């Protein structure tokens, strides 16, 4: 290691943060040692992101705290971005990127904010960026608008930017801490393995890492120690060597060890019976960006998983089906009615009793500043009208009933949607659409960024929709989840159907084998270790 290892590299003590009367963080302490990868886990709403936002200066603590860095101790609130001067770099849950700016502008955003230069040589900066991406094994155009990139590529830009900040800090003789808040959510398996190599390379140089993830397996795989938050308090702080998978799941869900918690959906033993009066969803010849001649059939009461390597095109199937993305060709037959997918639109999909839950709930599924009532009850708003007048009390009572039925916490209709935890936001989005009893349900990464407890409720809601006769398409990169919840699985590789796996043959190994058959070489983030060699 390049630094002395006596004492922690970063230490937080007595951090408390309230939102209204609720304590998001209650006397929380956490430390990261030199060369240590520290996992930070907990359910949605447990305080993980609040802790990181306090560290970043986005939130100020409510009582005196102690933040210790080598040669520095602070008890006051931090200004936004101030911590970066001490070599702490972030990849936030929402990535902290700006879609309207170019890849290059996002890459250098922090550098430009701290370097008040009068002139920027854009040609030179673009050339430097291309060389950096080459070192990372990435094929990204610095001039491209970030919003045109796929989510995995946007995540890669954010990660590269954080590593560059870390490198800059170490060159200035500051110790570095890399903070990743759910940064692997957008990466495929190859990308995740590269990320793990990158974290190990960062740690091997003496820097520390705070690694936030809902994936218990990757936490156990990559971290040296784990801090578990529950209801804003630290319930466990231990080396990974002293914890099992079941220990962590139990601590996250109950705050105690030794409590059995099911963290994955159990397989259904038999296929569902055909639902009376319901119709199948049949897709033929679907083609578009990344997809070529995809066909699939989903029967009433059936859950069909759609998956593959991230970036192979499976993520787009549900977007094309509901008209969120315009297909180049293909047809969709719903109960004998044939619809040209080139002309499909979200309005047409809704008229056909087809609902869609997108993967990016913050940008595509909710309006954070509006209330739960305004978000959740929008599809059934007409039911609250009487003689041309909106009966607000009736709407509010109906909303409360829906929120309680779908286990949304808190079940407060007037509460702004954006104040809910990620898991409760997702349950609210599902409640919004499933209360309409749709014939066709399209789900894209329905448990992305959702804690273990909320996942179980989401699985129940999805299976409940299928039990009522809906044809469900379940698109996800989580192969264990797909294998557990699906009645059949369609694996997409290189934009084409690689294999259709029937119920008896579904397994993670079977999905992996099919997915990797035609996989193009994924960007290898492990090459980023080369950037750290001179640190």
Residue 22 counted as domain residue: yes
My answer on whether 130 and 237 are in the same domain is yes
Query: In terms of pLDDT, which residue wins out, 119 or 1?
Result: 119
Q: For residues 361 and 426, is the Cβ–Cβ distance under 8 A? A: yes
Confidence at residue 207, expressed as pLDDT on a 0 to 100 scale: 86
The rounded distance, in Å, linking the Cα atoms of 79 and 81 is: 6
346 and 380 housed in the same domain: no
Q: How far is CA 237 from CA 41, 159, 248, 255, 470, in A?
A: 10, 26, 11, 12, 44
Residue 390: what pLDDT?
Answer: 82
Give the whole-number percent of the chain exceeding pLDDT 90. 42
| Together in a domain, 297 and 345 | yes
Looking at the structure, do residues 388 and 401 belong to the same domain, yes or no?
yes
Residue 265 placed within a domain: no
pLDDT (0 to 100) of residue 335: 76
CATH of the domain at 309: 3.40.50.300
Report the sign of the C-alpha dihedral through residues 185, 191, 196, 202, in that order.
negative
Considering 193, 225, 260, which residue would you say is the last residue of a domain?
A: 260
323 and 403 fall within a common domain: no
pTM of the model: 0.67
Residue 500 belongs to a domain: yes
pLDDT of residue 534 exceeding 60, the answer is no
Neighbouring C-beta atoms of residue 270, cutoff 10 Å = 7
| Domain assignment of residue 170, yes or no | yes
Give the model's pLDDT for residue 445: 92
Q: Are 332 and 380 in the same domain?
A: no
Q: How far apart, in whole angstroms, are the C-alpha atoms of residue 253 and residue 265?
A: 16
Statement to judge: residues 431 and 309 lie in one domain: no
Q: Does residue 461 fall inside a structural domain?
A: no
- DSSP lists the bridge partners of residue 474 as 305, 443
Candidates 305, 307, 303; CA nearest to 463 is: 303
Last residue of a domain, one of 260, 294, 328: 260
Q: Report pLDDT digits (tens) over 355-414.
A: 999 988 878 889 999 999 999 999 998 888 887 888 889 999 999 999 999 988 888 999
Strand partners, 488: 304
Both 151 and 200 in a single domain? yes
More confident residue, 301 or 3: 301
At 121-155, the pLDDT tens digits run: 888 889 989 988 887 777 889 999 998 887 778 87
- Comparing 315-329, 385-399, 479-493, the range with the smallest average pLDDT is 385-399
Within a domain: 83: yes
Claim to verify: residue 517 and residue 393 sit in the same structural domain: no
Whether residue 300 lies inside any domain: the answer is yes
**Which residues, including other chains, have CB under 8 Å from residue 393's CB and lie 6 or more apart?**
none
Provide the 8-state DSSP code for 361: I
Domain count, the chain: 3
When pLDDT is cut at 50, 70 and 90, the band that residue 205 belongs to is confident
Instruction: List, in sequence order, every residue forming a beta bridge with 281; answer none if it has no partner.
Output: 298, 334
- Sorting pLDDT into bands at 50, 70 and 90, what band is 70? confident
| Cβ atoms of residues 511 and 180 within 8 Å | no
Same domain, 251 and 289: no
Which of 201, 231, 260 is a domain's end point?
Answer: 260
Q: The domain containing residue 242 runs over which residues? A: 10-260
| Residue-averaged pLDDT of the chain | 85
Q: What does the pLDDT read at residue 528?
A: 53
The answer to the question of residue 331 being in a domain is yes
Each residue of 73-113: pLDDT tens digit?
888 888 887 888 788 888 876 777 888 899 999 988 877 66
CA 68 – CA 207 distance, rounded (Å): 15
Do 317 and 370 fall into the same domain? no
Q: What is the pLDDT of residues 27-64, one digit of tens each?
A: 999 999 999 999 999 877 788 888 998 998 888 888 88
Same domain, 431 and 395: yes
């Amino acid at each position: 290691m390049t630094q002395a290892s006596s004492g922690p590299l970063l230490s937080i003590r007595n951090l408390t943060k309230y939102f209204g009367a609720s304590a998001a963080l209650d006397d929380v302490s956490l430390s990261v040692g030199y060369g240590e990868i520290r996992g930070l886990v907990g359910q949605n709403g447990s305080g993980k992101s609040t802790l990181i936002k306090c560290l970043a200066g986005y939130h100020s603590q409510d009582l005196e705290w102690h933040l210790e860095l080598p040669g520095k101790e602070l008890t006051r609130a931090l200004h936004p971005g101030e911590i970066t001067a001490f070599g702490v770099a972030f990849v936030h849950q929402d990535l902290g990127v700006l879609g309207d700016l170019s890849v290059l502008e996002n890459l250098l955003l922090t550098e430009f904010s701290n370097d008040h230069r009068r002139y920027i040589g854009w040609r030179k900066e673009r050339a430097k960026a291309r060389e950096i991406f080459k070192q990372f094994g990435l094929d990204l155009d610095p001039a491209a608008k970030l919003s045109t990139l796929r989510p995995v590529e946007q995540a890669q830009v954010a990660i590269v930017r954080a590593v560059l900040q870390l490198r800059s800090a170490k060159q200035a003789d500051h110790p570095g801490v890399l903070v990743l808040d759910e940064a692997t959510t957008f990466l495929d398996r190859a990308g995740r393995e590269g990320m793990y190599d990158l974290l190990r390379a960062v740690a091997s140089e003496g820097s520390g890492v705070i690694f936030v993830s809902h994936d218990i397996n990757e936490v156990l795989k990559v971290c040296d120690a784990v801090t578990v938050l529950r209801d804003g308090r630290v319930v466990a702080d231990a080396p990974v060597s002293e914890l099992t998978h079941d220990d962590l799941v139990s601590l996250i869900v109950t705050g105690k060890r030794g409590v059995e918690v099911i963290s994955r959906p159990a397989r259904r033993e038999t296929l569902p019976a055909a639902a009376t009066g319901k119709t199948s969803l049949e897709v033929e010849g679907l083609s578009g960006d990344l997809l070529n001649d995809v066909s699939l059939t989903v029967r009433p009461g059936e859950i069909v998983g759609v998956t593959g390597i991230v970036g192979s095109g499976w993520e787009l199937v549900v977007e094309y089906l509901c008209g969120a993305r315009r297909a180049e060709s293909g047809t969709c037959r719903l109960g004998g009615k044939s619809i040209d997918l080139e002309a499909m639109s979200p309005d047409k999909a809704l008229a056909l009793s087809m609902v869609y839950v997108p993967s990016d709930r913050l940008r595509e599924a909710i309006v954070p500043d509006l209330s739960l009532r305004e978000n959740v009850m929008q599809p059934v708003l007409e039911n609250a009208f009487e003689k041309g007048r909106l009966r607000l009390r009736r709407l509010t009572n109906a909303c409360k009933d829906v929120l309680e039925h779908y286990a949304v916490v808190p079940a407060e209709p007037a509460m702004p949607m954006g104040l809910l935890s990620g898991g409760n936001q997702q349950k609210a989005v599902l409640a919004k659409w499933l209360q309409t009893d749709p014939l066709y349900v399209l789900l894209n990464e329905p448990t992305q960024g959702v804690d273990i407890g909320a996942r179980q409720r989401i699985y129940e809601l999805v299976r409940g929709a299928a039990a009522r006769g809906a044809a469900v398409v379940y698109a996800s990169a989580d192969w264990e989840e797909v294998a557990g919840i699906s009645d059949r699985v369609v694996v997409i590789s290189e934009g084409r159907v690689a294999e259709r796996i029937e119920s008896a043959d579904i397994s993670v190994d079977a999905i992996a084998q099919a997915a990797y058959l035609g996989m193009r070489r994924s960007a290898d983030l492990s090459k980023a270790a080369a950037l750290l060699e001179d640190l």
